[in-house]
């Protein structure tokens, strides 16, 4: 390939809002046949809102929101932002966190007001042997059936609340999926979120809901394995993501595309950055590389 054409392609990419790590990236872009899309922050806006609050019997809602809001205030996850904002709107200033750790793809834990607090998916709470009481379990399944994301809140060894957050699909995602299909790519939705939410989002944007194209409840470390498995099947895989949890998968993919609106870690792990965080730029990137390489050959 003549470097000149690739450099011209790289320059054209910048005009389209696509930052390309090196000219050679355009080569691998051309061969891609499968495109794996992270859900939260990639297909959806990632700007979630706290829409339902369920507390267990005897739990003070204000205290729960202070503890949960304070802990989530220390996390960068879209769910965390929704919980912290929703809590602040209802109870005002939040206390400081004394200790904090992020449990990638599962939730967060820390110490607030002397309580050991844990927030995250039900599987995480259960690992800590804190199953949800029946009323909270019902609230969770009802929310998930409606395509919303429910997280559990526990402190001092007991599950005490379920918080429900809702996200919206980006207005451009369905169009991008249709265009990717027209380019001959198979879109796959990959998420750590629950299967009901994943199904709702897939249907909304036009991704087939078969087990091969709808992959939910995947832990961050296992996102890489999904990419490896597709590659082992002979697919040439592009992955689009935004989160810290997507970074290993972005690096493993034949072509990693990061949302410019996402985390630095995701951007560093990727070959391309879609500056505006619009999935349609992934379509532009693939068209650009095909056109650029056609000029060369």
List, in sequence order, every beta strand (DSSP E) within 41-157.
Answer: 49-55, 97-103, 107-112, 115-120, 149-155
Count, residues in the chain? 297
User: Of the residues 33, 38, 167, 254, which is catalytic?
Assistant: 38
Asked if 76 and 243 touch (Cβ cutoff 8 Å), the reply is: no
DSSP string, 186-229: EEEEE-SS-HHHHHHHHHHHT---STTTEE-S--HHHHHHHHHH
The residue number with the shortest CB distance to ligand ADP is: 192
* The binder of ligand ADP chosen from 25, 87, 112, 119 (CB under 6 A): 119
Give the Cα separation of 197 and 105 in Å (integer).
Answer: 15
* The binder of Mg ion chosen from 37, 38, 94, 160 (CB under 5 A): 38
Q: Which is nearer to ligand ADP, 23 or 86 (CB)?
A: 86
The footprint of ligand ADP on residues 254-283 (CB under 6 A) is none
Q: Is 152 in the site for Mg ion (CB under 5 A)?
A: no
Q: Is 39 in the site for ligand ADP (CB under 6 A)?
A: yes
Q: Please return the burial class of 13, using the count of CB atoms within 10 Å of its CB with bins 0-12, 13-18 and 19+.
A: buried
* The binder of Mg ion chosen from 40, 75, 149, 263 (CB under 5 A): 40
Structure tokens belonging to residue 212: 């091969």
* Residue range at the interface with ligand ADP (CB under 6 A); choices 58-66, 106-114, 254-262, 285-293: 106-114
Q: Is 109 in the site for ligand ADP (CB under 6 A)?
A: no
Backbone angles phi, psi at 204, to 5 degrees: -65, -35
Quote the least distance from Cβ 87 to ligand ADP, whole Å.
12
Q: Is 106 in the site for ligand ADP (CB under 6 A)?
A: yes
Q: Residue 171 belongs to what H/E stretch?
A: none
* The binder of Mg ion chosen from 9, 13, 41, 86 (CB under 5 A): 41
278 among known catalytic residues:
no
Q: Is 132 in the site for ligand ADP (CB under 6 A)?
A: no
CB within 8 Å of 284: residues ≥ 6 apart: 16, 17, 18
Q: Is 117 in the site for ligand ADP (CB under 6 A)?
A: no
Give the Cα separation of 278 and 176 in Å (integer).
Answer: 9
* The binder of ligand ADP chosen from 77, 148, 160, 170 (CB under 6 A): 77
In the complex, the residues that contact ligand ADP under the rule CB under 6 A are 38-40, 72, 75, 77, 79-80, 105-108, 119-121, 149, 151, 191-193, 220, 243, 245
In the complex, the residues that contact Mg ion under the rule CB under 5 A are 38, 40-41, 242-243
Residues that are catalytic: 38
């Amino acid at each position: 390939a003549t470097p000149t054409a690739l450099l011209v392609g790289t320059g054209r990419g910048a005009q389209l809002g696509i930052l390309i790590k090196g000219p050679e990236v355009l080569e691998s872009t051309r061969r891609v046949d499968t495109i794996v899309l992270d859900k939260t922050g990639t297909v959806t806006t990632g700007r979630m809102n706290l829409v339902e609050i369920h507390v267990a019997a005897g739990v003070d809602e204000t205290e729960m929101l202070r503890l949960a809001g304070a802990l989530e205030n220390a996390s960068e996850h879209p769910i965390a932002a929704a919980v912290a904002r929703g809590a602040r709107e209802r109870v005002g200033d939040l206390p400081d966190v004394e200790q904090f750790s992020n449990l990638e793809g599962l939730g967060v834990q820390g110490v607030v007001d002397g309580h050991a607090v844990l927030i995250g998916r039900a599987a995480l709470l259960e690992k800590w042997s804190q199953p949800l009481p029946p009323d909270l379990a019902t609230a969770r399944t009802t929310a998930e059936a409606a395509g919303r994301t429910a997280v559990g809140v526990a402190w001092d060894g007991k599950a005490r609340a379920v918080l429900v957050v809702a996200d919206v699909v980006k207005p451009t995602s369905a169009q991008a999926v249709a265009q990717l299909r027209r380019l001959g790519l198979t879109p796959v939705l990959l998420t750590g979120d629950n299967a009901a939410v994943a199904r709702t989002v897939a249907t909304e944007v036009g991704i087939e809901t078969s087990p091969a194209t709808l992959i939910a409840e995947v832990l961050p470390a296992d996102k890489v394995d999904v990419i490896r498995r597709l590659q082992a099947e002979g697919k040439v895989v592009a992955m689009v993501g935004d989160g810290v949890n997507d970074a290993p998968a972005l690096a493993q993919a034949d072509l990693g595309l990061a949302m410019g609106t996402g985390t630095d870690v995701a951007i560093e792990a990727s070959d391309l950055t879609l500056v505006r965080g619009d999935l349609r730029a992934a379509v532009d990137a693939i068209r650009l590389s095909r056109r650029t390489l056609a000029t060369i050959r």
